[in-house]
Chains A and B, each alone.
Chain A
Amino acid sequence: MIKLLRSDLYRLGKSKLLYGVIGFTGVLSFLLMMIMLQDIRVGISVFGNLTAFKEIEDIIRLGTEYQKGLGILVAILISVWIGQEYQWKTWQHKWIISKSRTGIYLSKAIVSSSISAAVFLQFQLIALFSSGQVSNIITSRYIATVISGIALYASLGAVLCLLSMLIKNNTASTILCLCYVLFSETIWSSITNLSGFSSRVVKIVELGMRHSIYGMSAIISSSSFSTDMAISIVINSVFITLIATSFGITAFRKYEL
């Protein structure tokens, strides 16, 4: 397992895409903060929903809304990194030297969750330090937001890993991962609308949405988010990560490589 992790980390370290994502995240975080500090009003619009940055907290909140930027970068990075193994059939080496399928999958899931959480953390730290108001920003609410965000992005990484591992085609898995990130809000809205025929179904759908990655993201980025919600978000994220990884391992073990 350690050998697989070292090999995966080595390959990730050789990926130009990784440095592109790190660079873009850093520049995005820094520029948004600088523009906001200069009192220039900008916003990001994804499918009509405009996010206007009026205060530092708006930029910090943007990091937790994965569908508006960071999630897209993470989806591309993870799907391409895993998809290359299918594209170039490099599973063979691992399989021939008798690395277990469970180990192969676990290594990918750990790296995907870690890199996803790391991209979020990088965004938050650069925003924090470039704001010039470190002591004002670091409150218990901010710390709870960052911890919840890390857990959220780790579970997002595990789900993106699942999608990339189960789709045996590099391009198809990238498209699917991007769709998952970009359309999660639309999909949940559609499901909510369709469930309107029964109040019981509406409650179940709402419960599902609240506990989904999208739902948690909406909770963390809302103004009603409070520090005591962080624990339930972390537990929920761990649960999603475990479910996605268990399902992925079961399916991947049956794959013909």
Chain B
Amino acid sequence: MNKYAITAENIKMQYGVSTILKDVSVHIGQGDIYALVGKNGSGKTTLLRILTGLIKDFNGTVSITKASGQESRFAAVINDPSLFLNMSAFENLKEQTYLLGLLEDSLIEEVLKTVGLADSNHKPVKNFSLGMTQRLKLAMALLQKPDILILDEPMNGLDPDGIADLRELLLRLHENGMTILISSHILSELEQVATSFGILYEGRIVKEAAIHDALQNGTSLEKLYMQYTRGGEGK
């Protein structure tokens, strides 16, 4: 039985002469909500793109499996538009259902309701706010009914209500056994949902631990992050 849903070992990645990832290893347990934190340009998105298979040209190994050892079905929300802006939310999801071979429109209605876009499903995506776009991307990911969900800064552009809704949704998906990998700068939010975390700093994971083990004695994820990136063990 596989303990980890995602295992990446010794990932090295270069863009031209600059090395983005020097030697990254991450281990994400089955059913975990794993928070990937790091400053802008630290390589979070690059790492997520490697894990999703969008980048092929890297060194190291990536394994994404179910507990049974079968290959997992995963979905991702990466920080690019990746939506047809001239089409409506419903049409974007419909196009995706054709790709997935799903024919029932009821599934589209269901995911739109889940992300809170049921009232805006026929509005062109070009008129969406950033928060609505994020919700739609999440809906597209959920349409695949994935075992693993990879989210790159999904809280960007969300208002406080949207963030609270997203938090509830993530916890609900987690309760259903979904493994979630999430990168974000909003550490206080991550602290509320994550079960484990990894701090990416200078091309390496400098700390990887379960939240309840690491955040004892009244410390917070933010303090821990500062400790590992501005001094102390991380250096």
A228 at the interface (CB under 8 A from B): no
Tell me, in angstroms, the Cα distance from A257 to B54 when the chains sit together.
Answer: 7
A200 at the interface (CB under 8 A from B): no
**Cβ of A6: which chain B residues have Cβ within 8 Å of it?**
98
Encode contact with B along A67-99: 1 for CB under 8 Å, 0 otherwise. Answer: 000000000000000001000111011111111
Are the C-beta atoms of A88 and B85 separated by less than 8 Å?
A: yes
Encode contact with A along B71-84: 1 for CB under 8 Å, 0 otherwise. Answer: 00011101011111
Q: Which of A89-129 contact B (CB under 8 A)?
A: 89-90, 92-99
Point out the residue from B52, B86, B98 that lies within 8 Å of A96, measured CB to CB. Answer: B52
Interface of A is mostly: helix
B45 at the interface (CB under 8 A from A): no
Encode contact with A along B36-62: 1 for CB under 8 Å, 0 otherwise. Answer: 000000000000000011111100000
A47 at the interface (CB under 8 A from B): no
Q: Given A3-B98, A11-B95, A96-B76, are A90 and B82 also a contact pair (CB < 8 Å)?
A: yes
Kindly provide the distance from the CB of B212 to the nearest chain A CB, expressed in whole angstroms. 31
Encode contact with B along A151-192: 1 for CB under 8 Å, 0 otherwise. Answer: 000000000000000000000000000000000000000000
**Cβ of A89: which chain B residues have Cβ within 8 Å of it?**
80-82
**Cβ of A97: which chain B residues have Cβ within 8 Å of it?**
75, 99-100, 144
Interface size on B, residues (CB 8 A): 28
Encode contact with A along B90-131: 1 for CB under 8 Å, 0 otherwise. Answer: 010011101111000000000000000000000000000000
Point out the residue from A14, A84, A93 that lies within 8 Å of B99, measured CB to CB. Answer: A93
**Cβ of A7: which chain B residues have Cβ within 8 Å of it?**
95-96, 98-99
Q: Given A3-B101, A6-B98, are A95 and B81 also a contact pair (CB < 8 Å)?
A: no
Are the C-beta atoms of A88 and B84 separated by less than 8 Å?
A: yes
**Cβ of B57: which chain A residues have Cβ within 8 Å of it?**
256
**Cβ of A92: which chain B residues have Cβ within 8 Å of it?**
54, 76, 78, 80, 82
A10 at the interface (CB under 8 A from B): yes
Are the C-beta atoms of B95 and A88 separated by less than 8 Å?
A: no
Kindly provide the distance from the CB of A21 to the nearest chain B CB, expressed in whole angstroms. 15
Point out the residue from B52, B80, B84 that lies within 8 Å of A84, measured CB to CB. Answer: B84
Q: Given A3-B98, A6-B98, A99-B99, are A93 and B140 also a contact pair (CB < 8 Å)?
A: yes
Tell me, in angstroms, the Cα distance from A88 to B101 when the chains sit together.
Answer: 22
**Cβ of B75: which chain A residues have Cβ within 8 Å of it?**
96-97
B8 at the interface (CB under 8 A from A): no
**Cβ of A137: which chain B residues have Cβ within 8 Å of it?**
none
Are the C-beta atoms of A3 and B100 separated by less than 8 Å?
A: yes
B163 at the interface (CB under 8 A from A): no
**Cβ of B81: which chain A residues have Cβ within 8 Å of it?**
88-90
Are the C-beta atoms of A11 and B84 separated by less than 8 Å?
A: yes
Kindly provide the distance from the CB of A147 to the nearest chain B CB, expressed in whole angstroms. 32
Identify the closest chain B residue to A99 (Cβ).
Answer: B99
- Chain B CB within 10 Å — which of A3, A84, A97, A99 has the most? A97
Q: Given A88-B85, A89-B81, are A256 and B95 also a contact pair (CB < 8 Å)?
A: no
B67 at the interface (CB under 8 A from A): no
Are the C-beta atoms of B91 and A14 separated by less than 8 Å?
A: yes
Kindly provide the distance from the CB of A7 to the nearest chain B CB, expressed in whole angstroms. 4
**Cβ of B96: which chain A residues have Cβ within 8 Å of it?**
7, 93
16 other A-B residue contacts (CB within 8 Å) besides A3-B98, A96-B52:
A11-B95, A15-B86, A16-B86, A88-B80, A88-B82, A88-B83, A89-B81, A90-B81, A92-B78, A93-B96, A94-B99, A95-B53, A96-B74, A96-B75, A98-B53, A256-B57
The list of the 7 closest CB pairs from A to B, nearest first, reads: A7-B98, A89-B80, A6-B98, A7-B99, A88-B81, A92-B82, A3-B101
A: residues with CB less than 8 A from B are 3-4, 6-7, 10-11, 14-16, 84, 88-90, 92-99, 256-257
B: residues with CB less than 8 A from A are 52-57, 74-76, 78, 80-87, 91, 94-96, 98-101, 140, 144
